Structure 1
Amino acid sequence: MSGKKEEAAFSILRIYDEPEPRRCEPESSGVSSQPRHQAQPQLDGGCGTPQRSPGSPEAEAQPGPVYQEMSTLTPQQWALQALDRSELQASWFSEGRPREEAEFTSSSLLGFEFAVGIGTSLQACLVLRLLPVTKSGPSSEQLAMAVQGHHPLLSQPPVADEVVVRHRIPRKSWKVGKLCHGKKVCAIAISSSTHHVYTCGHGYIRVWDESALHAWSKAPQAQLNFQDRHNCVLSCKLFPDEQSLITGGVSRTLTLWDLAPTPRIRAQLASAGPICYSLAISSNAQICLACFKGFVEIWDLQHQILIRKHEVPEFGSRCVDITGNKFWTGGEDTSLYAWDLRSCQKLQQYSVHHEILSITHDPSEEWLLVGLRTSDIIIMHTHRREAFKAVIHKYVHHHNLKFAACGSYFVTTMDESVHCLSAPYLQKLFQEEESTEVLCCDVSSDNQYLVTGSKNCATVYQLLY
């Protein structure tokens, strides 16, 4: 029902500190034997007591029936039961959810598939996904052919375990330097391709080369001054190729920068609002959204023209993000809005009961992270009716979210605290405390550095794996 306001029903998830359990299976499998979290339904966004996570030590002491059974199966037996297993996983996740909610699939929290199997069983799993879908499922002959590697759709030999790409996640961080910006750092961008960090704030942007990341008092490589000394950058977004940057803030213009070989202004886009609170760029770098009080500007970056000025609720436009053909806005009115990017019609309105401070998406653009004033994190699928809430219970003034380019972890900052959480398991990887409030953060696309901005400087952390 287009435009209808909905009371979001959340399954409460637990953020846990225990080390991720390691089972007796080859590391190269790259897959988990069972989901770590069992969602507990909670209506109207209320904060209930989460159920015990399957990833907790108490649960790990007694492995569930799925793991106990799967650990004893041969690859052939596992392949023959693959479809039944996927149905079991789907029912596991959907247990206790309201009937009007869409059923859970076997996909995991942030878009990674939960699967079991190593070696030839993983190969059989890939083949089974290619088999024709019928009500009765693949025939026994097809399953046998899939296991033996003779199915016609299997045109290439199996991939060796040692060449399977697995994204690493950082286990800790090391504070390696400070970037002395001199004033409040309101926005940060890290360009791995140009090997520079850009700290933005009141009156200027400072540019730091890679050598400054491991220093405590090194001067910036360059300083980009604004003609209007009252100009303050509140938001900045790197283009996907990391060769360009767009900034907006306390100014009636959005500034488009070319970063290489040296930073220079490419264009200035005249906006209708005095303060731009948030920016978002489409994955193909063709569309930019600028969020103002009461409206969102949609810009064509290639031709540098304003496509549309779209009105949104006055107190629902603090932050904005784009996922595919949708864009999302939220703010002080405690509602999350989904809009069609082409027609600008309101698709959905979700009541989340608390002020929204930040919105971001994962690299696949399937999942949306929403940071609330209560520091809780809402995790919502961008297409399906699936919504979760990670409850933290801490009232904050600043809440930033940043997903790593690899998609296996994200960073959330809450006032003076910096937390790094794994995806999809929500295991806390590390935590840092700073002396002043963290106003912004960014993670380098090569997953080497985390930089946070605060009162008058930026802090550089090297991520350790």
Structure 2
Amino acid sequence: MTPSPPLHRCWDSEDFEDTWQIPHSVCWQSEKMDVPRSLQKMWTLKHGAPVTATALSSFLRHAFTCGRDGVKVWSLVGQVVERGSLESHLCVQNPGALVRTSHLLSDNTALLMAGNSLAGVSVWDLKAPTLHMKSTLPCSGLSCQTLASSLLDTLALGGFSDGTIRIWDFRQKQRVRDLSNTHGAATRLLVKEQQVWAGSLEGTLQCWDLRNPSEPQKYQLDSQIMGLSPHPHENFILVGLGNGQQWLQPTSGDLKQMVGCRENTILDLAFSPRGHWWLSVGMDRLVSIHSMPEGRACLQVPESTGIMCCDVAQNDRLIITGSYDSATVYQVLY
């Protein structure tokens, strides 16, 4: 790993002008329509390989881009420049190994990294003066496709190519249980309160109750499940499909609602932390912002290639998209 300076835990308020206050009501019941009016390109992060996962931390003021050779850490401190400043490269050490996915814990204290031919899911400490691998979650011999964690970061989850979904106690770094999954490898995982949701390329959406995880609820959709995102306040999740459809799935009951359809495959999507809107990206080369609850595409920004992944910062002020060799960070203007 390339040595790195300490991560700066500051995000100056004057860097991004606040023109509205956080509403206390549910987002779409607010009197003011708090959806973006434009996106301003801020940084281009030259990862140098296809970017398979991205994350933004407004607390640490860093961006994370995941590729086959590891995760790169980019500083977003100081003046806005066309190219971001690379601080560290959390690289794989095993010959023939490759990284497929990464996941930033909600409290910004650790980054998980996993893939093929690795000893386990590596846990990188973001609290330390320099970035280092603190521990490993055991999964020897398994190929990890996707990662997730519980809201309070007490549990970490991994979806593997053989269909296994493993749950670890994150504090003890020990396996808690494996969930029985008979519908193919999970392409996406998320935890919503006491529920674990998994989507597969077979179009099957499954939900386990952590209090009684024996048999999952199952929902069949019309295409591959390429993106999952939980609404931060309401009891439903957003599902993005390979055929371009986007659905809101309640966390209880079978009644789901289609909230828009893009012309090409959706590859990733993410709710804004306040739930006013969501971001979706895909093969049509468009960064699309959709308003709640109807899913109207209120803003679209073109990029030069297909977009593989995305994330929204906790302060609702930045988004990041990952493509075939780089990532782009935008400021969200309201």
Q: TM-score, normalised by structure 2?
A: 0.85
Superposed displacement of residue 441, structure 1: 0.9
Per the TM alignment, residue 323 of structure 1 is displaced from its structure 2 partner at its CA by 1.1
Amino acid at match of 2:132: R
Native 8 Å contact 2:205 2:221 kept in 1:
yes
Q: Which residue is 1:349 aligned to?
A: 218
Question: What amino acid is the match of 2:101?
Answer: S
2:75 and 2:85 in contact (8 A); partners too: no
Q: 1:451 aligns with which of 320, 329, 332?
A: 320
Q: Matches of residues 356-435 of structure 1 in structure 2 within 5 Å?
A: 356-364=225-233, 366-392=235-261, 394-396=263-265, 398-415=266-283, 416-435=285-304
Look up the match of 1:321. 190
Q: Is residue 2:39 matched to residue 1:170?
A: no
Note the C-alpha offset of 1:189: 1.3
Q: How does 1:61-460 map to 2 (within 5 A)?
A: 114=29, 168-211=34-77, 214-228=80-94, 230-252=96-118, 253-260=120-127, 261-293=129-161, 294-315=163-184, 317-364=186-233, 366-392=235-261, 394-396=263-265, 398-415=266-283, 416-460=285-329
Distance 1:436 1:312, change over 3 A: same
The 1-side partners of 2:211 and 2:24 are apart by 38
CA contact (8 A) 1:182 1:457 kept: yes
* Greater displacement, 202-211 / 410-419: 202-211
In the TM superposition, structure 1's runs of 4+ consecutive aligned residues that sit over 6 Å from their partners are none
Cα gap change, 1:232/1:381 in structure 2, threshold over 3 Å: closer, same or farther?
Answer: same
SS class of match (1:291) = strand
Q: State the one-letter code of the partner of 2:302.
A: E
Looking at structure 1, the residues matched to 309 and 79 of structure 2 have their Cα atoms a distance apart, in angstroms, of 17
* Greater Cα shift, 432-441 or 308-317: 308-317
Give secondary structure in 2 for the equivalent of 1:426: coil
How far residue 218 of structure 1 moved from its aligned partner, in angstroms, is 4.7
Superposition deviation, residue 463 in structure 1: 0.8
Q: 1:300, CA displacement in angstroms?
A: 0.5
Measure, in 2, the Cα distance between the counterparts of 1:213 and 1:178: 13
Paired residue type of 1:392: C
Would the aligned equivalents of 1:320 and 1:329 in 2 still touch at CA under 8 Å? yes
- 1:385 Cα deviation from its structure 2 partner: 4.1
* Structure with higher helix content: 1
Counterparts of 1:399 and 1:195 in 2: how far apart (Å)?
25
Query: What letter is aligned with 1:341?
Result: L
Quote how far apart the aligned CAs of 1:219 are.
Answer: 4.2
Task: Give, as a single letter, the amino acid of the residue that structure 1 aligns with 2:60.
Answer: T
1:282-316 Cα offsets, whole Å, 9 max, x none, are: 11101111011211001110100001122202425
Q: TM-score, normalised by structure 1?
A: 0.62
User: 3-state DSSP class of the match of 1:185?
Assistant: coil
User: Amino acid of the residue matched to residue 36 of structure 2?
Assistant: P
Unaligned regions of 5+ residues in structure 1, if any?
1-26, 33-110, 119-165
Q: In 2 relative to 1, CA 193–231 (structure 1 residues): closer, same or farther, beyond 3 Å?
A: farther
**2:110 corresponds to which letter in structure 1?**
S
Deviation for aligned residue 1:229: 5.0
- Of structures 1 and 2, the larger Rg is shown by 1
Q: Is the alpha carbon distance of 1:311 and 1:175 closer, same or farther for their aligned partners in structure 2, counting shifts above 3 Å? A: same
Which sections of structure 2, spanning at least 5 residues, go unmatched?
1-19
User: CA 1:273–1:405 in 2, change beyond 3 Å: closer, same or farther?
Assistant: farther
1:383-404 alpha-carbon deviations (Å, 9 max, x no partner): 24431012415242x5201111
How many residues matched?
310
| Cα shift at 1:227 | 1.1
